[in-house]
Amino acid sequence: MQNFEAFKEKLKSPKNIVITTHHKPDADALGSSLALASYLKKKNHKVTVVSPTDYPDFLSWMVGNDDVLKYSEGGKGKSEEAIDEADLIFCLDFSSLKRINEVGDLVRESKAEKVLIDHHLEPEDFAQYVLWSTKAAATAELIHQLIVDLKDQDLIDKDIAEALYAGIMTDTGSFKHPNTTKNIFDVCGDLVGRGADTAKVAKLIYDNNSLNRIKFIGYALNEKLRVIPELNTAYFAITAEELEKFHSKTGDTEGLVNYALSIEGIKFAAVIIDRTEAVKMSFRSVGDFSVNEFAKKNFSGGGHKNAAGGISHTTLEETVSKFEELLQENKNELSTKTKIYA
């Protein structure tokens, strides 16, 4: 960590601490935040977790969930008060303050010192203390590293271990992605040794679907999947009306893009969704095609080389048309078959 000794000194006395994470937090974002909050509370700090938005119900089992302030869901006043009173603000699992919506301006203007802990590309320079590495598979891996570096590994209990394991499990695609390193297994081995119930965590996250979500996925696969074999690309385009038809909740579309990517020969997959206020996009790839660069250049987005997101402020139809035009512009790269194994 940058300025680690000063950071360690800062934590020696009780502080008012805010932990925040990105818009629509996933298991890594929320798991890292709640695990860190539990650890810091054991060190006698007053800790408030602020989420810019709501998040999927299948994450509500994590210890500390009931105390999370959701800024856009009635938590604005208390969030502003906590940020105003904070001595330290931890920013987890995002590299730019724009990823936390209106909360970003509050954090930027706060007198508190900031701590950035993240594994995404191109971090914004706003924090005094930075633990950042694109080699980390998940922010949860970095939180574990931080606790170990602070020589507090024995404070990792079952609840902290399970929240961190959830983040690592999901951000490695259940240990299927290339970011699954030896260190990941070492960390997970430590978490299991400290009580993490891996079967329970997997069940709660992956096998806890509503009937509406299952019906929506079936509909999307049967009616909305478009495959362009000559470009090794597959994508879904989902309308706001279709989301409403299936009573879609936050998290119901999560993972849909992976169905497209799982098709034999597919190199680039996307989900394009009309969220009414904007069209949101999720991109995945295998091999050398960088969806981070694709999203950054064309859709004001970014992320990782093989997993990124973007946004469009035109209609769904116009966004899909632009997307298909861009596929043609990248035809040389996309039409080349990707060798999965050397």
Percentage of the chain with pLDDT > 90? Answer: 91
Percentage of the chain with pLDDT > 70? Answer: 99
- pLDDT exceeds cutoff 80 at 338: no
* Residue 301 maps to a domain: yes
pLDDT digits (tens, 9 = 90+) for 49-99: 999 999 999 999 999 999 999 999 999 999 999 999 999 999 999 988 988
* Residue 54 maps to a domain: yes
Assign residue 279 the CATH number of its domain: 3.10.310.30
Q: Do 23 and 136 reside in the same domain of the chain?
A: yes
pLDDT digits (tens, 9 = 90+) for 27-46: 999 999 999 999 999 999 99
Q: Do 147 and 52 reside in the same domain of the chain?
A: yes
Q: Do 175 and 101 reside in the same domain of the chain?
A: yes
Q: Do 223 and 158 reside in the same domain of the chain?
A: no
* Residue 341 maps to a domain: no
* Residue 30 maps to a domain: yes
Cα 31 to Cα 183: distance, rounded to the nearest angstrom: 19
Q: Do 17 and 137 reside in the same domain of the chain?
A: yes
Residues 38/19, Cβ–Cβ less than 8 Å: no
Give the count of domains, the chain: 2
Regarding beta strands 69-70 and 88-92, do their DSSP bridges make them parallel or antiparallel, or are they unpaired?
A: unpaired
Cα angle vertex 208, ends 219, 277, to 5°?
A: 55
Q: Do 87 and 132 reside in the same domain of the chain?
A: yes
Cα 222 to Cα 59: distance, rounded to the nearest angstrom: 28
Determine the pLDDT at residue 121.
85
- Assign 337 a pLDDT band (cuts: 50, 70, 90): confident
End of a domain among 206, 241, 272? 206
Assign residue 138 the CATH number of its domain: 3.90.1640.10
End of a domain among 183, 206, 229? 206
Buried b (16+ CB within 10 A) or exposed e, 235-272: bbbbeeebbeebebeebbbbbbbebbbeeeebbbbbbb
Determine the pLDDT at residue 342.
43
Q: Do 296 and 265 reside in the same domain of the chain?
A: yes
Residue 94: give the domain boundaries.
Answer: 4-206
pLDDT digits (tens, 9 = 90+) for 216-256: 999 999 999 999 999 999 999 999 999 999 999 999 999 99
Q: Do 233 and 191 reside in the same domain of the chain?
A: no
- Assign 155 a pLDDT band (cuts: 50, 70, 90): very high
- Assign 172 a pLDDT band (cuts: 50, 70, 90): very high
Secondary element (H or E) of residue 127: none
Q: Do 196 and 73 reside in the same domain of the chain?
A: yes
Amino acid found at 239: T
Q: Do 216 and 143 reside in the same domain of the chain?
A: no
Q: Do 31 and 179 reside in the same domain of the chain?
A: yes
* Residue 340 maps to a domain: no
- pLDDT exceeds cutoff 60 at 183: yes
Regarding beta strands 46-51 and 69-70, do their DSSP bridges make them parallel or antiparallel, or are they unpaired?
A: parallel
* Residue 342 maps to a domain: no
Q: Do 23 and 139 reside in the same domain of the chain?
A: yes
* Residue 104 maps to a domain: yes
Determine the pLDDT at residue 201.
98
pLDDT digits (tens, 9 = 90+) for 1-31: 889 999 999 999 999 999 999 999 999 999 9
End of a domain among 206, 232, 254? 206
H helices present in the chain, as ranges = 4-10, 27-42, 76-85, 102-109, 139-149, 158-171, 182-193, 198-206, 211-219, 240-245, 256-261, 291-298, 316-329, 331-334
Mean confidence (pLDDT) of the chain:
95
Range 207-215 average pLDDT: 94
* Cβ atoms within 10 Å of 322's Cβ, excluding its own: 15
